[in-house]
Structure 1
Amino acid sequence: MPFLTKIITDPARYPADVYPFNVPAIKDGIELDIDSNITFLVGENGSGKSTILEGIADNCGFNLSGGGRNHRFPAEEGLQNLSSAMKLVWRPSKVTNGFFLRAESFFNFASYIDEIAKDEFGIVDERFLDQYGGKSLHHQSHGESFFSLFTNQFSRGIYLLDEPEAALSPSRQFAFMMLLRELEDRGRAQFIIATHSPILLCYPGATIFSVEHGMPEVKYQDTEHYRFSKDFLNNPDRYLRHME
């Protein structure tokens, strides 16, 4: 069973007509019941997926630029998030162990890890880097660094991932799904993932919420991501002729 079982936002506590509180999916409030350890948020760019993750992350005490509660590199200035208007319901109690992955600011996180791996003389402690695949995340490809983080740091807690597929090839996305299954089977980890990937979305037994007005739960085959990808792959000429 998931640790986080309900997400509620109170529009009465929103600033008037201020982004992101005026985004359609958020404007009238959110009430999500979560009954799966793997939950996906899907929607177009700007729909509010990242904003919802940021609000949860702030409530968990995670760094808003990415990381866990013990990662204290500077967050992006001016981030508006839902945390002050958000109520989270936990079972049996609040979980603060975990990680918030922001693909767009992962470079800053990798630089932070390099810095804290050094001792007072500026010498890197290789044992510290063993926690991240044995070498600097900057010395790994983008996909390798993501996967090093997943395999070495994910264990027990709540993991909030904003477009993890950004650095993963299709085969690596499937490998990531296998890692999710392993962690889920242990009953020790919960994932809430904002994604555009039709590969990740087909994870068996996952809950998918469409980030639009009302935040409805949708089936995999009813997502725009699945329908468009299937139609495009089956009929690429129908789309490519518009480029001629």
Structure 2
Amino acid sequence: MDNAMLYIRHAELTRERVPSFQAYPFDLPVIRSFNRLAFQKRVTFLAGENGTGKSTLLEGIAAAWGFNPEGGTLNFSFNTRSSHSSLHKYLRLAKGVRRPRDGFFLRAESYYNVASYIDQLDEEPVEPGEPVKSPLIKNSYGGKSLHEQSHGESFFSAFVHRFGGQGLYILDEPEAALSPLRQMSLLVRMHELAEQQSQFIIATHSPILMSYPGADIYLLEGEGIRPVTLEETEHYTVTKAFMNDRAGMLRELLGDGGKG
């Protein structure tokens, strides 16, 4: 695919503007060596071990686009705790020829705050003399407060009801609250939206999600980022090895405690 048709064509670190590569987040090995990440497909995955910087990089891309660092749509401006890095200030995004009609930044760790912000906005009274209040925001998430749903249900409500197509969707570990069956359902929804001219950039540990056909997978490791196949990821090989020889793996991990 011609990446000019994608909403984000590449993300580039303006290294000459970075004040110091000895301070966070620029001291992270992957960020310290980062130059440019190109996007070629409608679905791109960032994979890597905990602490490699994939969530930091994803957050930087989302904030550089204009999303609230805690998540939500471009219209969400709440700030529960300023824990995001300054990386977005030093990222330059090359945008495609089209603008998305929709967008969402989903962060597993702060989705509770997004749900609270939606409830807060819906509960604000209409001031005297103001027009009739607009439809409740929760109607765009299935008509039920996200706090009245399980964590997994609230995640999936966003995917099914809020994501409307022709959108830029940046997702940080969306599998965190989803069962394997729900992860497969998310694959179906992703495909529907990708067919509707949407672009996904996803940081994940899930081999199920990374199985999406034709997607690009970038592995963050050591001091670099490189393209890999699903079968080359540790997420896939470890999961496969464990399920193929569960008893042997448990004996290896637990010693005598793994007998049975």
Question: Structure 2 length normalisation: TM-score?
Answer: 0.87
Query: Residues 181 and 27 from structure 1, CA distance in 2 versus in 1: closer, same or farther, beyond 3 angstroms?
Result: same
Give the counterpart of 2:123 among 85, 95, 118: 118
3-state secondary structure, aligned to 1:229: helix
Is 1:50 matched up with 2:55? yes
The counterpart of 1:139, out of the listed 148, 153, 156, is 148
* TM-aligned CA deviation for residue 127 of structure 1: 4.5
Structure 2 gaps, min length 5 = 128-132
1:180 maps to 2:190: yes
Secondary structure of the residue that 1:40 maps to in structure 2? strand
The answer to whether structure 1 residue 84 and structure 2 residue 89 are counterparts is yes
Deviates more, 1:53-62 or 1:10-19: 10-19
Alpha-carbon shift at residue 61 of structure 1 (Å): 1.1
Q: Where in structure 2 are the equivalents of 1:190-201 lying within 5 Å? A: 190-201=199-210
What corresponds to 2:19 in structure 1?
Answer: 15
| Among candidates 204, 214, 226, match of residue 224 of structure 2 | 214
Residue 68 of structure 1 aligns to a residue whose secondary structure is coil
Match of 2:37 among 32, 35, 39: 32
**Does structure 1 retain, via aligned residues, the 8 Å contact 2:28–2:53?**
yes
Residues 15, 21 of structure 1: 8 Å contact kept? no
Q: Is the 8 A contact 2:118 2:137 kept in 1?
A: no
RMSD of Structure 2 on Structure 1 (CA): 2.0
Q: CA deviation at 1:95?
A: 4.9
Q: Which residue of 2 aligns with 1:5?
A: 9
Shift of 1:13: 2.5
Cα offset, 1:97, TM superposition: 4.2
* 1:40 and 1:206 in contact (8 A); partners too: yes
1:160 aligns to what SS in structure 2? strand
TM superposition score normalised by structure 1: 0.93
The answer as to 2:71 corresponding to 1:66 is yes
Instruction: Give SS of 1:62's match.
Output: coil
Distance 1:117 1:5 in 2: 36
Unaligned runs of 5+ residues in structure 1 are: none
Contact 2:65/2:93 (8 A) holds in 1: no
Partner-residue secondary structure (3-state), 2:228: coil
Q: Which of 200, 211, 222 does residue 202 from structure 1 map onto?
A: 211
Q: Separation in 2 of the partners of 1:53 and 1:18?
A: 18
Query: Which deviations, in whole Å up to 9, do the C-alpha atoms of 1:144-170 show, x marking residues without a partner?
Result: 100111111112321110000001100
Q: How far, CA to CA, are the matches of 2:83 and 2:238 in structure 1?
A: 35
Partner of 1:163: 173
| Rounded Cα–Cα distance in structure 1 between residues aligned with 2:69 and 2:220 | 20
Distance in 2 between the 1:52 and 1:95 partners? 21
Output the amino acid matched with 2:144. Answer: K
Q: Report deviation, 1:15.
A: 3.3
Structure 1 CA distance, aligned partners of 2:78 and 2:89? Answer: 22
Asked if the contact 1:64–1:75 (Cα under 8 Å) also holds between the matched residues in 2, the reply is: no
Larger Rg: 2
> Which ranges of 4 or more aligned residues in structure 1 deviate by more than 6 Å?
none
The residue that corresponds to 2:162 in the other structure is: 153
Distance 2:8 2:137 in 1: 31
Q: Tell me the number of residue pairs that the alignment of Structure 1 and Structure 2 aligns.
A: 242
Percent identity over paired residues: 45
Once structures 1 and 2 are overlaid, which stretch shifts more, 166-175 or 82-91?
A: 82-91
